[in-house]
Structure 1
């Protein structure tokens, strides 16, 4: 069953677009948070260097509570949150970190920027998530950790992944940058690993401007992250070393050689304003995504991943899989036609991260900080064969899905664009030269 088809002629060939409804503004903020921001900017302090600032303390306590762990650390970005986790767990010095090749680059660049080396394991071709059964092939004597991405808000199989990590005495970092509030077997992501990083940029399920946070169940991870990624404190600037519980043995490491991943107070206040809405908005996204699944059920060359009964994805994006052979047209030609119909669809991961030319030990372009570490590892990631990743890259279609409210008309209009293409496949094939 597909949504209403408004026009027969394909928009890419001059017809009227099928989907013309405007997406609702996202995110939205009320006057109360603007008033609080104004008060903070007017009366200060406008910089929050530790939990000594009430806004920083409130947000860090709230995100820790959200994920059911003792420690939260606000950061300037999701990348900063992930690298803070690696810093806090002391994953560096050529340590290998098994991770996904099918992701946005921040989940790999944080490893590289901390002096560690990514080791890529293959993914499930339906979801694009790390396949637990593929982890063993990436394991070496230098493996120290796993970095697991909950891409598109889909929870990875943390039960199997944590069992693997425990067998091999590995640390685990979760990348929940697209998965705030998602659950695996009833438990929120971000609470399984030793530490986790989240982004709060303007399109994420917990959306602000640009920011992030780390959460961890390991006290030492929190404190070590603060002295290298924040500001521990010096002179009149009250920093993290002033917080109760700061370990005396770390004081000799306090200096100004830090990454500037400190929080922005405006972003922190926006995050606090959005937190109470998170679960309700995620439920709305899920209902709308399931409605889309129902409407697309009759198109046999399109599919959405299936999830376990106890798993709850959060759908800030919806990922679809396109069977080009069954459709008789390439994925890219289909994407172009879908965009012409008014649906802003993309193939979010352009290529597997292991195929990034700058990861080659033979890279001869502008120098990057990690080339020597890659060479010393003895592995050329660009030569890895990861068929699950390649299949997902080739088949993947992603739709933005920050559509809040149970809006059958809007979802039916999106589905109608797919229905229109389905009704005109012969025209699309001819136009694409199929």
Structure 2
């Protein structure tokens, strides 16, 4: 590796190497905007069930995408995940094995449902759950596994489902960043007993704000509706009016629900983007593959490797920084890349188990789950998870809404990475 004096680095006053702005994303068609205006002008803007044609269309097409029987549109990805747990009756006294390396919704949905997260270590190259670590996280109260497909990378669902079946555990997939990703030839969201996805404005299937649950189990769908949506009351005809609603649940309908009903305008926008999902995911992969090839001889940067039958969608590109000099770590490299114009971030600032509000001794503004943690007798903040710690310390992410092939853009970005590596020694004084 060549190490120059560093005078040309942007962080030290030189010109930046990457000048491209992030592309506009998402882009909605004129037809979608006309349809949206029609909904706003004529209504109904509230979608309480599949009796609304837009809700019915969205839920039917998303169930088809994930090759499952049922889809329940929701207000957010978090709402979809909690709806999945409610549909599976995972609640107080139950424990859910999950990843510490994710966005907080993967864990807060567990806490909000009165259950206790139990953290399983991750693979340090991808940040995904390490199936070999599941056994060590298994407890007598474990009833489920929450599996994030972080950055659009598919977790090893073959191994995870085998473990779950051996121990009679339910599985919830968090596919909020992974629409269209595939493992072993199947779409993520089709393996677990239920799955939650987000459709907010930066996801691979982008709208404004919203989410959806998918499941192959009819009872999960219906149980989620009576606690997370409007099932039906008086003149407000809701989910209980849909064909197939179980008679045995009618006596349990009331208004004590989480308000995770879908936002109809968001569904209109998501439906507009759905036909483009596969094409855009192919472009994400091609652009990510080119960046990987252009940096394959790098000593500083390393990329995760994926099984041949796995197809990520690259909501973000994640890579790891090797420590080649004692005084230059990930943080210095990240700052140098940002100065060069690369829109790089460290997405996970710390393992979720180390969040201060996960401590049984938390004394700040009260949260609903501190009592759950205290009663569990556990202190997640003290849990050693070396794979997670390594990924947090070395990882860099690039938001990857590059949904059109652009070899020149990727080559320019790779040039910024090479520039930082070539001038690595100049970063020794940044700390």
Shorter-chain TM-score category?
over 0.9
Q: Deviations over 1:338-392 (max 9, x none)?
A: 1010011111100000001111111111111111111111111111000000000
Instruction: Tell me how far apart the structure 1 counterparts of residues 418 and 311 of structure 2 sit (CA, whole Å).
Output: 27
CA shift, 1:187, in A, is 0.6
Corresponding residue for residue 42 of structure 2 = 43
Query: Which aligned pairs between 1:338-377 and structure 2 lie closer than 5 A?
Result: 338-377=337-376
CA shift, 1:234, in A, is 1.0
Q: Secondary structure at the match of 2:265?
A: helix
Query: Which aligned pairs between 1:3-402 and structure 2 lie closer than 5 A?
Result: 9-325=8-324, 329-402=328-401
Instruction: Tell me how far apart the structure 1 counterparts of residues 197 and 294 of structure 2 sit (CA, whole Å).
Output: 32
Q: Point out the more displaced range, 126-135 or 361-370.
A: 361-370
Corresponding residue for residue 432 of structure 1 = 430
Instruction: Tell me how far apart the structure 2 counterparts of residues 71 and 335 of structure 1 sit (CA, whole Å).
Output: 42
Q: Secondary structure at the match of 2:251?
A: helix
CA shift, 1:428, in A, is 2.1
Q: Is the 8 A contact 2:174 2:195 kept in 1?
A: yes
Corresponding residue for residue 421 of structure 1 = 420
Q: Is the 8 A contact 2:7 2:13 kept in 1?
A: no
Q: Is the 8 A contact 1:49 1:238 kept in 2?
A: yes
CA shift, 1:298, in A, is 2.1
CA shift, 1:328, in A, is 5.2
Q: Is the 8 A contact 1:303 1:320 kept in 2?
A: yes
Q: Is the 8 A contact 1:288 1:407 kept in 2?
A: yes
Instruction: Tell me how far apart the structure 2 counterparts of residues 51 and 153 of structure 1 sit (CA, whole Å).
Output: 29
Instruction: Tell me how far apart the structure 2 counterparts of residues 122 and 215 of structure 1 sit (CA, whole Å).
Output: 26
* RMSD after superposition: 1.4
CA shift, 1:327, in A, is 7.8
CA shift, 1:41, in A, is 1.5
CA shift, 1:325, in A, is 3.7
CA shift, 1:419, in A, is 1.2
In the alignment, structure 1 segments of 5+ residues that lack a partner are: none
Q: Deviations over 1:101-125 (max 9, x none)?
A: 0000000000000010000010001
Instruction: Tell me how far apart the structure 1 counterparts of residues 323 and 250 of structure 2 sit (CA, whole Å).
Output: 59
Q: Is the 8 A contact 2:300 2:421 kept in 1?
A: no
Q: Point out the more displaced range, 420-429 or 209-218.
A: 420-429
CA shift, 1:134, in A, is 0.3
Q: Deviations over 1:263-317 (max 9, x none)?
A: 1111000111111110110000000000000111121121110000000000010
CA shift, 1:404, in A, is 1.7
CA shift, 1:326, in A, is 5.2
Q: Following superposition, which runs of at least 4 residues in structure 1 exceed 3 angstroms of deviation?
A: 325-328
Q: Secondary structure at the match of 1:144?
A: strand
Q: Secondary structure at the match of 1:97?
A: strand
Q: Secondary structure at the match of 2:161?
A: helix
CA shift, 1:237, in A, is 0.9
CA shift, 1:135, in A, is 0.4
Instruction: Tell me how far apart the structure 1 counterparts of residues 339 and 12 of structure 2 sit (CA, whole Å).
Output: 9
Q: Is the 8 A contact 1:327 1:425 kept in 2?
A: no
| Alignment length (residue pairs) | 428
Q: Secondary structure at the match of 2:172?
A: strand
Q: Is the 8 A contact 1:8 1:420 kept in 2?
A: no
Q: Is the 8 A contact 2:178 2:312 kept in 1?
A: yes
Instruction: Tell me how far apart the structure 1 counterparts of residues 180 and 152 of structure 2 sit (CA, whole Å).
Output: 9
Instruction: Tell me how far apart the structure 2 counterparts of residues 122 and 106 of structure 1 sit (CA, whole Å).
Output: 18
CA shift, 1:91, in A, is 0.2
Instruction: Tell me how far apart the structure 2 counterparts of residues 311 and 330 of structure 1 sit (CA, whole Å).
Output: 31
